[in-house]
């Protein structure tokens, strides 16, 4: 495609033009933690390569992207552009509903939409700080988004009246997607994560949806045990790639 022209159409968006027709699009989307994630939509390898080269030269690094590991062609294109695999996320799927799981003594789970905004915001900030000071927030799945904070997308666990843990959800038409299950350090090893997961499944069944999905870092043994213990099965995997 000798006539291929790459033009920037917005702050982080580019079009590839051939004979005045758009034959490819690229954009960079900032995540709440500041990371930039790349996306390119192009049918032909030369278009992808030119878009990638222009975007990588124009944007500050590090730059990230996420691909379905089964999409070998797309993975190969990003690798050829210079990105390398940073982490793998297993995608798990489980049925909604299932048998009730008793909450630990003194623990109450709040269904989606019932948590109060101010204590939920404090819990969210505290959990982010604990993660950042331990494994680092950049070790969370790339798709974990935190803003805007909407109680309709959270299940919360309270213990002795204090907000102790949360499950952040994406309420999709065909399934509920768990973006994060986290419990404050002082409340762990009490079965709160299991209670949160059980409430997610119950609430999903109540809204007439059959499945719940979650992405789990391949090295997170505790999270894998949690979802597999609930009967989840592995359905696929995503790769996060990066160039620094």
Mean pLDDT value across residues 144-166: 86
Residue 127 burial (CB count, 10 A): 22
Name the percent of the chain lying above pLDDT 70: 93
Biggest CA-to-CA distance, the chain = 69
CATH number belonging to domain 5-87: 3.40.630.30
> Cβ distance 92 to 232 under 8 Å?
yes
pLDDT tens digit sequence for 179-222: 899 999 999 999 999 999 999 999 999 999 999 999 999 989 99
Confidence of residue 140 (pLDDT cuts 50, 70, 90): low
CATH 3.40.630.30 segments of the chain: 5-87, 92-238
pLDDT in tens, 43-100: 899 999 999 999 999 999 999 999 999 999 999 999 999 999 999 999 999 999 977 7
Q: Is the dihedral of CA 184, 187, 188, 191 positive or negative?
A: negative
pLDDT one-digit tens code per residue, 10-19:
999 999 999 8
Separation between Cα atoms, residue 41 and residue 25, nearest integer Å? 5
92-238 has which fold?
Aminopeptidase (3.40.630)
Q: What is the pTM assigned to this prediction?
A: 0.82
Q: Identify any residues that bridge with 94 across adjacent strands, giving them in sequence order.
A: 212
Helix (H, G, I), strand (E, B) or coil at 127: helix
What mean pLDDT is reported for the chain?
Answer: 91
Cis peptide before 77 (omega within 30 of 0): no
Task: Report the C-alpha gap between 160 and 178 in whole angstroms.
Answer: 25
pLDDT value of residue 147: 57
**d(Cα 73, Cα 67) in Å, to the nearest integer?**
10
Q: What is the pLDDT of residue 5?
A: 94
């Amino acid at each position: 495609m000798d006539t291929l022209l790459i033009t920037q159409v917005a702050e982080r968006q580019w079009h590839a033009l051939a004979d005045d027709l758009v034959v490819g699009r690229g954009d960079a989307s900032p995540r709440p933690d500041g990371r930039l994630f790349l996306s390119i939509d192009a049918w032909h390898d030369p278009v992808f390569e030119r878009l990638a080269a222009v975007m990588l030269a124009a944007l500050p690094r590090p730059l990230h992207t996420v691909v379905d590991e089964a999409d070998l062609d797309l993975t190969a294109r990003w690798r050829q552009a210079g990105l390398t695999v940073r982490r793998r996320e297993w995608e798990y799927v489980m049925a909604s509903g299932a048998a009730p799981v008793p909450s630990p003594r003194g623990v109450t789970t709040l269904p989606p939409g019932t948590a109060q905004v101010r204590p939920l915001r404090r819990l969210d900030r505290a959990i982010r700080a604990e993660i950042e000071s331990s494994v680092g927030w950049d070790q969370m799945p790339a798709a974990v988004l935190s803003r805007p904070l909407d109680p309709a997308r959270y299940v919360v666990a309270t213990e002795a009246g204090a907000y102790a843990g949360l499950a952040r959800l994406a309420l999709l038409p065909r399934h509920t997607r768990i973006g994060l299950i986290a419990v404050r350090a002082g409340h762990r090893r009490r079965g709160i994560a299991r209670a949160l997961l059980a409430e997610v499944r119950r609430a999903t069944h109540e809204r007439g949806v059959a499945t719940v999905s979650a992405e789990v870092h391949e090295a997170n043994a505790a999270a894998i045990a949690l979802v597999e213990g609930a009967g989840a099965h592995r359905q696929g995997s995503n790769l996060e790639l990066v160039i620094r």
